[in-house]
């Protein structure tokens, strides 16, 4: 049995907590959202930094890391179970002032996360050969490097699992600054260690992909340690917990009910993306490069909207717990207006400046040409993508995670057959794949915002999860 006492002696992070149930809505939302956006960019930067340094080892190393890296991505589906539940229920409990519930949801979220992390770690270690073998890489050297990378990442999987949940707990409490600072520290450590362990700079061992894995795991371990330190320093009673003692399955059930729909959505998104990737690969290496680079560029737009969505989710959760429904209405409408402006700006940037942006990443005429088309087609969906993400965040804050998850999963899945059909040479070719993504995003945005506004109008949104 784990017997971890998180006792607090002295000042804590709570000075950074934002009370979202009072004060100017726009100011509070932006103040919470900006650090969340920064944290999202940091998470993306981990992969980019690793790829930049691994790329200097060679294409085989990139292929190995890229292949093994699919499994940490897939892990997010399991992480979402406790992450979403923690973010929503902690926020709602803060709003209602129920410290017992806050403590119970924090404890249960961490316990669920640890259990899933251990199971996932065992699977990665036991089935290492099978999991890498699925991709039929062919090259023995690449296969061996991929197995080594995955084994090391698996040993640090508990840190990879727990850090997003700690982040979600702090966000739910209205404190997004602490996760931003801690995750930034982890990124800096990863940046410093990569050249030392991958390329052997400054007298370090030249370990290649093994060095990349060690740097990532160590950085994640430091992040976990910093979170625990900040928690231990706090004097809030709801962090005084003993893990796996007096387990209350009621809280487990509520967290699972909230998290499972989003977990399924995340897992299916990964599978759909891989399937789309297979179709893209049939068009050759330039097409693959266009998708990889283009999706990274577009992800900036996605992460900005997601930062707002997470902030809105916490805002809605706290005010829902406080039964301040009119404030929720105003907050949602303000955030939707911000999302509309953001979507329009993103569309203009990608459509009008696509060639210049893509040219920053790849210096190859054909890739820039195709990449410009990619950004222009995807650029047309930015407004609707922002509305989709923001609306999903509002639903999550209310504990209605199944509504956006169902719609998003179905329409994202529709991309696969649509891409297959309209990407035929006699129809749209490669551009048909990009259009399948844009069309599905447009429908998701329209359907979700329409449904949300309709439920808001008829007063059917404020129904408790337990009901």
Residues shown for the chain? 467
Q: What is the per-residue pLDDT across 399-438, written as a single tens digit (0 to 9) for each?
A: 777 888 888 899 989 988 998 888 888 788 888 999 999 9
| Mean pLDDT lowest among 57-66, 217-226, 442-451 | 57-66
User: Which structural domain range is residue 122 located in?
Assistant: 16-247
User: Quick check: is 423 in a domain?
Assistant: yes
pLDDT, residue 452, reads 84
Q: Three-class SS of residue 242?
A: strand
Asked whether residue 318 falls in the same domain as residue 362, the answer is yes
Closest CA to 254 of 34, 401, 421, 361: 401
pLDDT, residue 59, reads 63
pLDDT at residue 467 is higher than 50: no
Distance linking the first and last C-alpha atoms of the chain:
34
Asked whether residue 154 falls in the same domain as residue 238, the answer is yes
- The pTM assigned to this predicted structure is 0.76
Dihedral angle, C-alpha 94, 95, 96, 101, nearest 10 °: -20
CA–CA separation, 462 and 89 (whole Å): 15
User: Quick check: is 256 in a domain?
Assistant: no
**Mean pLDDT confidence for 193-212:** 89
Report CA Rg, the chain.
22
pLDDT band at 463 (very low <50, low <70, confident <90, very high): low
pLDDT at residue 181 is higher than 80: yes
pLDDT at residue 152 is higher than 90: yes
CA–CA separation, 459 and 467 (whole Å): 15
- Structure-token pair, residue 163: 């850090």
pLDDT band at 458 (very low <50, low <70, confident <90, very high): low
Asked whether residue 299 falls in the same domain as residue 378, the answer is yes
Backbone angles phi, psi at 234, to 5 degrees: -70, 160
Asked whether residue 290 falls in the same domain as residue 392, the answer is yes
Q: What is the per-residue pLDDT across 235-269, written as a single tens digit (0 to 9) for each?
A: 777 777 787 887 888 888 888 888 888 888 888 88
pLDDT, residue 10, reads 36
Give the position of tokens 């149930």.
21
User: Quick check: is 257 in a domain?
Assistant: no
Asked whether residue 340 falls in the same domain as residue 394, the answer is yes
pLDDT, residue 461, reads 62
pLDDT at residue 227 is higher than 90: yes
CA–CA separation, 303 and 299 (whole Å): 6
Asked whether residue 352 falls in the same domain as residue 396, the answer is yes
Q: What is the per-residue pLDDT across 83-99, written as a single tens digit (0 to 9) for each?
A: 888 888 888 888 878 88
Asked whether residue 241 falls in the same domain as residue 310, the answer is no
Asked whether residue 307 falls in the same domain as residue 408, the answer is yes
| Higher-confidence position of 290 and 413 | 413
The number of folded domains in the chain is 2
| Average pLDDT of the chain to the nearest whole number | 82
Q: How many CA atoms lie within 13 A of 23 on its CB side?
A: 10
Asked whether residue 433 falls in the same domain as residue 323, the answer is yes
* Dihedral class, residue 176 (left if φ above 0, else alpha if ψ from -120 to 50, else beta): alpha
User: Quick check: is 451 in a domain?
Assistant: yes
User: Quick check: is 11 in a domain?
Assistant: no
Asked whether residue 319 falls in the same domain as residue 417, the answer is yes
User: Quick check: is 466 in a domain?
Assistant: no
Asked whether residue 198 falls in the same domain as residue 303, the answer is no
pLDDT at residue 158 is higher than 90: yes
- DSSP secondary structure code for residue 424 in this structure: S
pLDDT band at 12 (very low <50, low <70, confident <90, very high): very low
CA–CA separation, 97 and 108 (whole Å): 18
- Structure-token pair, residue 8: 């607090």
pLDDT at residue 45 is higher than 60: yes
| Mean pLDDT lowest among 19-33, 49-63, 96-110, 257-271 | 49-63
pLDDT band at 6 (very low <50, low <70, confident <90, very high): very low
pLDDT at residue 359 is higher than 80: no
User: Quick check: is 4 in a domain?
Assistant: no
**Residues 54, 284 contacting (CB under 8 angstroms):** no
User: Quick check: is 59 in a domain?
Assistant: yes
């Amino acid at each position: 049995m784990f017997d971890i006492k998180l006792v607090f002696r002295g000042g804590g992070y709570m000075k950074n907590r934002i009370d979202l149930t009072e004060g100017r809505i726009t100011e509070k939302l932006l103040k919470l959202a900006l650090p969340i956006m920064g944290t999202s960019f940091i998470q993306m930067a981990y992969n980019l930094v690793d790829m930049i340094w691994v790329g200097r080892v060679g294409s085989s190393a990139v292929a190995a890391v890229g292949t093994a890296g699919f499994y940490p991505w897939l892990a997010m589906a399991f992480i979402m179970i406790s992450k979403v539940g923690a973010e929503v229920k902690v926020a709602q409990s803060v709003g209602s002032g129920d410290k017992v519930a806050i403590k119970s949801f924090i404890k249960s979220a961490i316990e669920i996360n640890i259990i899933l992390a251990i199971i996932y770690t065992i699977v990665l270690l036991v089935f290492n050969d099978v999991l890498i073998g699925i991709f039929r890489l062919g090259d023995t050297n690449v296969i061996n490097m991929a197995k080594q990378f995955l084994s090391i990442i698996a040993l640090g999987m508990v840190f990879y699992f727990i850090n997003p949940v700690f982040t979600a707990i702090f966000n739910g409490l209205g404190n997004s600054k602490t996760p931003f600072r801690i995750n930034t520290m982890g990124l800096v450590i990863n940046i410093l260690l990569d050249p030392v362990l991958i390329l052997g700079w400054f007298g370090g061992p030249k370990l290649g992909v093994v060095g990349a894995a060690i740097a990532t795991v160590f950085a994640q371990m430091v992040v976990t340690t910093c979170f625990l330190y900040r928690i231990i320093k706090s004097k809030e009673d709801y962090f005084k917990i003993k893990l796996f003692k007096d387990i209350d399955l009621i809280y487990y059930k509520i967290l699972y009910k909230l998290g499972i729909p989003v977990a399924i959505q995340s897992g299916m998104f990964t599978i759909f993306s891989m399937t789309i990737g297979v179709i893209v690969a049939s068009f050759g290496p330039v097409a693959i490069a266009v998708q990889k680079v283009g999706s990274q560029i577009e992800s900036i737009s996605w992460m900005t909207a997601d930062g707002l969505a997470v902030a809105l989710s916490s805002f809605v959760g706290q005010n829902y717990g406080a039964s301040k429904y009119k404030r929720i209405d105003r907050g949602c409408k303000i955030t939707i207006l911000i999302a509309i402006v953001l979507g329009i700006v993103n569309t203009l940037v990608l459509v009008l400046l696509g060639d210049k942006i893509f040219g920053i990443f790849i210096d190859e005429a054909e890739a820039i040409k195709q990449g410009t088309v990619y950004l222009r087609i995807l650029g047309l969906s930015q407004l609707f993508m922002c509305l989709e993400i923001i609306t999903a965040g509002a639903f999550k804050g209310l504990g209605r995670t199944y509504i956006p998850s169902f719609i998003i999963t179905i329409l994202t899945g529709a991309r696969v057959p649509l891409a297959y059909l309209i990407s035929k040479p006699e129809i749209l070719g490669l551009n048909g794949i990009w259009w399948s993504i844009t069309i599905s995003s447009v429908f998701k945005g329209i359907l979700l915002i329409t449904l949300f506004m309709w439920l808001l109008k008829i007063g059917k949104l404020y129904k408790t999860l337990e009901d």
